[in-house]
Structures are given as structure tokens and as C-alpha cells.
Structure 1
Amino acid sequence: MWKGIVLVLLGACSFGILSTIVKLGYQQGFTLGELCSVQAGFGMIALWTIHLLSRARTYGLKNKDVRTSFILGSSTGLVSITYYQSVQYIPASIGIILLMQFTWMSMLAEWAFYKKKPTPIQWIAVLFILAGTLLAGGVFSGQSVHLDWRGIGFGLLAALFYTMFIVVSGRVGHTLTPVLKSAWIVTGAFLLITLIFPPVYLANGRFTGSSLWLWGLPLAAFGTVLPPFLFSKGMPQTGVALGAILSAAELPVATIAATLLLHESVTPLQVAGVLIILGAIVAANVRRTLKPAATVQGVKS
């Protein structure tokens, strides 16, 4: 159990520092398309290399699970594009808060498409998440808040696309190994990103003539390689409910990274908002986490 907890926490921390890395990349003069492309490209190469070295069976696009995973990759590609676009206009610490809105969006999506009605405690959690978001966004700070609406819009779009990925990914690709499934997903994401942002940096010398390739390494490692691997190893040990709670660690990690590395100012009210969001996520999932233990206890008695 503890090994699984550590693995899931590490996966969440990997996701958490992505927005800060992207902001630093922007400061070096790299564009949205370049950063998205090198992340997906390096991630695709790494995942396929890991799969081939494992000597596990490879399935092609004739396999239904491969096709759905490949198509699902478009949603992860859109998450990267919209999320990274949002932090061009707003602080990274606000961008991650907007992305975390997938927690209540996924509840509504499962209710709408899979008739899985949220529990009363989950509805209460949604209200607290929204209240925490307003606090964390500085709405009640007493100071004039200057948040670019383009950043807010792209941040919410990123949350919507991430919701699509979360809701669908757990229901497809069961015949594939986690690495092969991730490889096909990232391949789909890379194709979509390439169609939107053609990799002209390969022809104009930007890839080798600058440090762009160096930025691709941490983006791919923390965004496309480590999280799927760590989650696939850790989630079976923790369970989905506890895993969802632990995954929320990306929120404080992103806030801390933005404060330390980007020197973004975070007020006490914003910290309170982050804590409220974390508490709401825990409250929405902790009851399901405790249910298996209660069942086991009942059998023993």
C-alpha cells in the first residue's frame, strides 16, 4: 500500500511542475507549438522505446483498443495546447486551479453519459471547489484582479478536455499494457499537435541551434512518460478513490513551484482557497476509500 501511495504522489508531483516548466520555456523565447510538439515527440519516442525493450506484444490499429486509445490521444493533445496557452495569459498557479475543475466536471460527465449520479457529499464538494477556486483566484482579496479572460477560457477548456480523457480512458484499452496504451495515446496526441503546429523547428534550425531539445526532455518526462507509468503501477495498490485524493497533490506542488521558480505572489487567501479545494477533493473520495475497509471488517466479525 505505502509503495503505491508513494508512486501516485510522485506521478501527481510530476504533473504539478509542468506549468512552471512551460512558463520558463516561454521566458526563453519558445512558442506554444514548439513546447507542445517536443513534449509529445520526445514522450512518444520514450514510450515506444520502453515498450519495445519490454518485448511485450505489440498491437496495431486493427485492434479496437488501440484505435480508441489512439483517438483518445487527441484529447490529451488538446489538454496540452489549451493548458499551455492559458498560462501564457495568467499565472501558472491560477492555471493549475482552473485545470483542477475537471474534478467536478468529471462528476457531471459520468452522470450525463453513464448515469452515475453524484452523492450528496460530492455535490457539497463541488460547491467547496468552486468557492475555493474564487478564493485561490484572488476574487476576495480586496485588490483589483487582472486576469486575462483568454487565460481563463483556455484554462477551463483544458479542464473540459482533461475531463473527456479521465472519463473515457478508464473504460478503454484494457487488453493493452499500460506502456503500450500510453504509447498509442501519446502518438495520437503528437499527430494532432503536428497537424495544428507543423514542426518547422526541425527545418529552420531551432531544434538543434537552440536549447529547444533540452526543454523537450523534462516536458516529456514529467508530462507524458513518468505520470502514466507511476499511476499504472501505483493505482492498483491504492485503489481509484485513494488515488484520486493523492493525485490532488499536483495542485499544491504547482503552486509551490510557481512561487519558488517563477516568483509569483500567493496571498494567504489564495493559500486558503487551495486548501479548501484539496479538502473538497478528499471529502468527495474518502467515503469510497473507507468502504472496502468497512466491508472487510464486517466479514471478519
Structure 2
Amino acid sequence: MTISKTSNIFASIPHFSQAAKGLCLALVATALFSLKGIWIKLAYQFGIDPASLMTLRMAFSLPIYLLLALYWWRLGRLEHQKLKGNILPAALVGIAGYYLASFLDLSGLQFISAPLERVVLYAYPGFTILLAWLVYRQKPQLIVVLALPLSWLGVGLMMWSETGQQLDPQQLIWGTSLVIASAFSFAFYLVFSKNIVAKIGSQAFTLIAMIAASIAIFIHFSLHGDFTALLNYPGQVYWYAAYMALFSTVIPSFLFSEAIHRIGAQRTAISGSAGPVFTLIMAAWILGDSIGVLQIAGIGLVVVAVALLNKN
């Protein structure tokens, strides 16, 4: 199955509503994005730093996006008239969602624990709803208002048992602020991508956004890192970076854009709360991590929240 056909994967199922199809796409994308944490943890065993791994990830991703852009352009799917005037907005939104949000998140992780970072990062559904209300005057539906606190509570329970005490209050404040800024940046991407996707299509938007984000990441690394050092890691690191590029970047980026087009930024954002659920399950399966009672309760709350989103 080609990537161009994945958005129609549920078309042959007549009983699936438009919202249900969009929600399924969002959940599949979330599950694949969640694998990123597994690849990162496996790669970190070989001493690679976050910025270098992020750069390798996009180094493997960018050629795929460029080849798809060339292939779809030759097929006539990337119409010049539709793209005219929308390339720069799509690029800026992509940089906000896939470069700036990642950079702020990685920076925050230097000051706070990973479990606390995951809890704080899931402020983005709230920011998404707030931005949609302020920018487009879209009042959140009651079902969204009910699902949001459930998803937050579920994520909080899943991470509570892992969160350690922070010894330096200044580091706690600074690190938390950076991760909150990351959450806001990703919410900005979700809200402002919907109208662009409606104009040029999810495929064209994803290509422009991800190519622009890749270039921004390379520029950032060129100012702070050494590209020749990227060639000196063990072979396993490059395999994990390649897995992350294909399964946790390229494929879910297209699915995520299509989900935003079908069900909107608010529901797509809250469905992303299932990310920690997938991460916990896959970490237990692949890495042998244990799952506690609080985490099981959190999984249940997130599942209820996502189920609520499927109600019209």
C-alpha cells in the first residue's frame, strides 16, 4: 500500500463515519509517533546526543519527502495554482510544529525529568482549543470539553509514579517553561495547518512543512554541531534513526495531516493523548518496562476520552 492511498484505508468500510475515519487515522499516527521514544531510548545506548539523533532522523526523512514531491508533481497532484501563495505559510507552520516544538522540548529535557516533560507536554490539547477559539472563534464542543480533562488526568496518572523530585527550583521553572512553549508551538501547528490543508491538500502541505522543518533542523545543527561527527556512530544508531524516519516521521506525518483535515485540530490534539498509552505498552513489550496500577488507571481514562471523541 502506498502512502498516497493510506488516507483512503477505511473507504471500503461503509459504516465508518467521516469522524471515525479521521479518528482512526489520528490514532494510527499517534501510535507510530509514539514509537519514536523507543527508537530514541535504544539509540541512546550508543552515546548519541539528542540534537545529533534529531538531525540523523531528518537526514533519512528528507530524501523520502523530496522523492515523493517529485513523484507527485509529475503525476499532477501538486497543482501550481493551489500552491501559489500557500508555500510560505505551510513552511512556517511546519517549522513551528516539527522544528521549534522539537527544539524547545529537547532543551527543556536538559532541566527536568523525561516523565515530567511528558506530562507538561500534554498541555497542547488545551492550547489547541484555546487558539482555535481565539483565532477562528470555534467554541469547543461539549464532548471535547468532557474529553480534555479526562485525557489530562489519564496522562498525569500514567506518569505520576515515574516523576522524581526536582532539586533545583530554577531549573524546574525554566525547564517546564520551555516544554510549555513546545506544547504551544505544536498547538500553533495544529490550529493553523487546517486551513492550509483545506486549500492545497494534506499531501502537499505535509511535504512543504516537513521539508521546511528539515532544512531548519540542518541549519540549527550546522551552527551548533559538527556534521562529520554524525558519521562516527555504531551501525545500530543509523538503523534506529532510519526506523524513526520512516515509521515515526514520514508515514505518521501524512496520516496526521489527513486526520486534521477530517476531524479538526481539537479532536486530533486530544486523540494524541493516547501517545503515552502506546509508549507504555510498547516499552513494556520491547524494553521490558513494567506497568503499574496507576498507569493502568491512566490508560483507562485516556481510552474513555478518545472513545468520547468518536461520538457525534
TM-score normalized by the length of structure 2: 0.74
Cα distance per residue 1:127-176 (max 9 Å; x no partner): 333433432232xx6x9843683665444333222111111111114443
Following superposition, the deviation at residue 51 of structure 1 comes to 2.2
Opposite residue 112 of structure 1, the aligned amino acid is: L
Q: Tell me which of 61, 69, 77 is aligned to 2:90.
A: 69
2:298 aligned residue: 273
1:299 aligned residue: none
Instruction: Check whether the contact 2:190–2:269 (CA below 8 A) recurs between aligned residues.
Output: no
Instruction: Check whether the contact 2:43–2:240 (CA below 8 A) recurs between aligned residues.
Output: yes
Cα distance per residue 1:65-121 (max 9 Å; x no partner): 111111112212122223445566534x66544433322221111112222122444
Matching of residues 256-267 of structure 1 within 5 Å: 256-267=281-292
Aligned length in residues: 281
2:153 aligned residue: 131
1:166 aligned residue: 190
Q: Tell me which of 30, 41, 55 is aligned to 1:37.
A: 55
Give the whole-Å Cα distance in 2 for the aligned partners of 1:191 and 1:27. 27
Give the whole-Å Cα distance in 2 for the aligned partners of 1:216 and 1:144. 27
Give the whole-Å Cα distance in 1 for the aligned partners of 2:48 and 2:121. 22
Q: Structure 1 vs Structure 2: percent identity of aligned residues?
A: 20
Following superposition, the deviation at residue 39 of structure 1 comes to 1.7
Instruction: Check whether the contact 2:46–2:233 (CA below 8 A) recurs between aligned residues.
Output: no
C-alpha distance 155-277 of structure 1, shift in aligned 2 (>3 A): farther
Opposite residue 91 of structure 2, the aligned amino acid is: F
1:90 aligned residue: 113
Give the whole-Å Cα distance in 1 for the aligned partners of 2:182 and 2:132. 18
Following superposition, the deviation at residue 9 of structure 1 comes to 3.9
C-alpha distance 26-155 of structure 1, shift in aligned 2 (>3 A): farther
1:146 aligned residue: 165
Q: Does 1:115 align with 2:137?
A: yes
Matching of residues 1-301 of structure 1 within 5 Å: 1=10, 2=13, 4=21, 7-54=25-72, 55-57=74-76, 59=80, 63-75=84-96, 76-85=98-107, 89-91=112-114, 95-138=117-160, 145-146=164-165, 149=172, 152-198=176-222, 200-204=225-229, 206-207=230-231, 210-211=234-235, 212-231=237-256, 239-240=263-264, 248-283=273-308, 285-287=309-311, 290=312
Instruction: Check whether the contact 1:36–1:81 (CA below 8 A) recurs between aligned residues.
Output: no
Cα distance per residue 1:174-224 (max 9 Å; x no partner): 4434333222111221232223222844324x3265334333311211332
Give the whole-Å Cα distance in 1 for the aligned partners of 2:42 and 2:292. 22
C-alpha distance 27-53 of structure 1, shift in aligned 2 (>3 A): same
C-alpha distance 128-13 of structure 1, shift in aligned 2 (>3 A): closer
Cα distance per residue 1:23-56 (max 9 Å; x no partner): 2222221111111112223222101102212324
Give the whole-Å Cα distance in 2 for the aligned partners of 1:177 and 1:144. 41
More deviation in 160-169 or 176-185?
Answer: 176-185
**RMSD of aligned Cα (Å):** 3.5
TM-score normalized by the length of structure 1: 0.76
Q: Report the secondary structure of 2:103's partner residue.
A: helix
Following superposition, the deviation at residue 244 of structure 1 comes to 6.4
Instruction: Check whether the contact 2:90–2:196 (CA below 8 A) recurs between aligned residues.
Output: yes
Following superposition, the deviation at residue 262 of structure 1 comes to 4.1
Structure 2 unaligned regions, length at least 5: 1-9
Give the whole-Å Cα distance in 2 for the aligned partners of 1:126 and 1:247. 11
C-alpha distance 41-69 of structure 1, shift in aligned 2 (>3 A): farther
Structure 1 unaligned regions, length at least 5: 291-301
